[in-house]
Chains A and B, each alone.
Chain A
Amino acid sequence: MNAVSLRHPEAVPVSRIPVMDMPAFRRGVLEAVAAGLRIAALYGSPRPGGGIRLTAVLADDREGALSLLAADPGETYPSLTPDCPQAGAFEREIAEQWGVVPAGHPWLKPLRFHRSFRPGRDAWGRTGTDAPKPSVMDFFRMEGEGLHEVAVGPVHAGIIEPGHFRFQCHGEQVLHLEISLGYQHRGIERALMGGPHPRTIHHMETLAGDTTIGHALAYCRAVETLAGCRAPARARALRAVALELERLANHTGDLGALAGDIGFLPTASFCGRLRGDFLNMTALLCGSRFGRGLVRPGGTAFDADPARVAELRQRLDATFRDVTGAVNLLWETPSVLARFEHTGTVSLSLAIELGLVGPAARASGRDMDSRRDFPVEGAEFGAGPVAVQESGDVFARAYVRWLEIQRSVEFIHGQLAALPAGPVRAVCGPPAPNALAVSISEGWRGEIVHVAETDASGRFARYKVVDPSFHNWMGLALALRGQEISDFPLCNKSFNLSYCGHDL
């Protein structure tokens, strides 16, 4: 295969990435996926002389290696999706952003409902000056006796982000669910071109607000790699701690919310509070419950003195004791297990086919975790077991979170007990020109991929963000097939995907 291999994190000159012809590119991606690699990113970027170049980032989890393939597709090319379902959303994105049509795509519809990045190039031939209207498109529809359609959103009953869900039902049974997003689109990738700008780090911190550390970390490592800068060891340890605190807060909150969705109020109430206790530990480090202002190119903006570290460890122990008590109630209560088990099952083969990542993939038996497979920040994590379950149902997605909570607490203690001395921030210079870097971090929802490409002046010619939700929304849609519609909230919470992380 005519691809460039790189370790993580590593920058390569753009000129080293060979541009293949489209049939070879297509063959390269399909063969790699057949051999067990995943599409970590697939995106279009504008070429200086006009036209669009496709780049695929393929992840080999077993080897911890990445390969890059590139090709110039022209204005249309044969879609990969019919042979490779995990390319589906990426190709819809390419069509929407650049007007390049993947011919033969089985479900070529807008993903976010925004104007093309290339004026006049619209994949659906839309003309006129009005912006596209969200969810104004044809939905998959079934007809027949006793069949009906349920439409929900964008405004939902709770305090959550907006999205539109279209269910095809027979009685209570869901035969098909189509999810239409884009309501949260804020224009992040368009704004990133020509960056980094003064606001860029704030776009990263608010890209998916509950994953502030995860995305800020992926971004900082991308620009550090491009600048040839390595954050000091102490900063790397503190960043790794912050990443795990973010995971602890969200996993704990999710377990409480899962309990709430089935009316098991003790765990719901306890975890609602305990989630906040973890957020307050992040605030102990940097003043913000979400870690705003902590991770910066070159390291961290805050250090932790010994008293602060001691306070953090003491709070971590106390909170973990309460989380253990709260969460174990779930596994001891038959009515909880009856609702969790065999609900919203995703098989391993489906998880692989869709390219699912994070706890959702691990709950279906996929042994992957970028903290182990693509380590940077806390290489020690690689020694630990990856939390895997086999059953692929709500129970497995809940139990994987509980296993990860235990592992994260242990990891944080390990890091804080042996915090390296020294500064927490190095000077991070400007990114190298005409280079590409891939940066991966394991956010609490799964693998976060950032790809930064610079132009001749060292500005971002393209900055691609792949939030784990981008892969996993389709997993939720398929998990609902054959389920009762009343199980939707439970299935939805067991994935707990980001709308803004998808919509960018």
Chain B
Amino acid sequence: MIRALLERLRQKHRTVGYPAAPPTLPDRFRGLPKLEPGKCPDGCGDCAAACPAGAITREDGQVRIDMGRCLFCGDCAAACPHGALRFTRDHRLAARMREDLVAGEGERKLAAALDARMKRLFGRSLKLRQVCAGGCGACEADTNVLSTVVFDLGRFGIQFVASPRHADGLLVTGPVTENMALALKKTYDALPEPRIVIAVGACAISGGPYAGHDEVRSGADAIVPVDLYIPGCPPHPITILDGLLRLLGRLPAEAGNSDA
């Protein structure tokens, strides 16, 4: 017992300063992609050709990246000879609408908060049930880590619970395999209303690297209505936390940016 207490003293307080302080992210972190289409010569499509996920399109000269498909591998930035595309360290990626994940030249929309009624219900206490539907374990691991002392999700009133009957929302990972489609639907149906659904990771948003496979449904919104999309492969825990807090209206619109 005394050894456990001494060790506790030695290991110290380790909870991150975020959201009061900016998050600490690795210098090679690949966050929000930034495009400078002015630098794109006519007819160049090197970035789109380099993308393994089909996330980049060029229509009417406008290059766009669909962050819902993006694996954040950085191959496009490496392939661009004109410096028109780079990944910033901005971790704020979540969006409420699927189309808001498509990044172009203009301003992007950060995830808006729930409406007043839902915010009153869930703003100070949100219980989530997680369903992994073909996820590789990475999105799951970086969701799970939010409950450790590092992120201390409990301080925001957010908690993962064992039963859908006890939950206010569903957090879905994975491309939704054919073999999990029914279980996902049944879990959703078991949630009391009103309820929300959060899709975490490229797989749950678009199918990710498995998009189009016969064995998957290519995203959670093929089965259940999604209220919040959190892109990444996998998203950094801070990106997930940012999305959850924005949904609950607990972050000022522009807060918590590390590097735009």
Give me the interface of A with B, judged by CB distance under 8 Å. 112-114, 131, 133-134, 154-155, 157-162, 182-187, 190-191, 198-199, 201-203, 206-210, 212, 266, 269-270, 272-273, 275-276, 280, 283-290, 292-293, 302, 322, 325-326, 329, 332-333, 498, 500
Contact = CB atoms under 8 A, between A and B. Distances in A.
B169 interface: no
Given A154-B183, A185-B215, A210 B178 contact: no
A287 B89 CA distance: 10
Contact of A206 (B72, B138, B179, B215): B138
Contacts of B53: 199, 202
Contacts of A292: 71-73, 138, 233
B225 interface: no
Interface in B160-205: 160, 162-164, 174-175, 177-180, 182-183, 187, 203
B140 A159 contact: yes
B145 A209 contact: no
21 contacts: A112-B179, A131-B178, A133-B182, A154-B180, A157-B162, A159-B130, A159-B144, A162-B133, A183-B179, A185-B215, A187-B213, A190-B215, A199-B209, A202-B71, A203-B209, A276-B150, A283-B26, A285-B28, A286-B28, A287-B28, A293-B72
A273 B14 contact: yes
Contacts of B52: 198-199, 201-202
A209 B3 contact: no
B210 A187 contact: yes
A186 B139 contact: no
A283 B183 contact: no
A276 B145 contact: yes
A134 B149 contact: no
A500 B215 contact: no
A210 B180 contact: no
Contacts of A212: 138
B92 interface: no
Given A206-B138, A209-B234, A187 B145 contact: no
A290 B233 CA distance: 9
Contacts of B143: 159
Contact of B177 (A159, A183, A498): A183
Contact of B183 (A113, A114, A183, A288): A183
8 nearest interchain CB pairs?
A209-B136, A287-B28, A209-B138, A187-B215, A157-B162, A272-B148, A209-B137, A202-B209
A186 B183 contact: no
B148 A184 contact: no
Nearest to B49: A198
Contacts of A276: 145, 148, 150
Contact of B148 (A154, A206, A273, A285): A273
Nearest to B26: A283
Given A206-B209, A272-B150, A161 B179 contact: no
A325 B26 contact: no
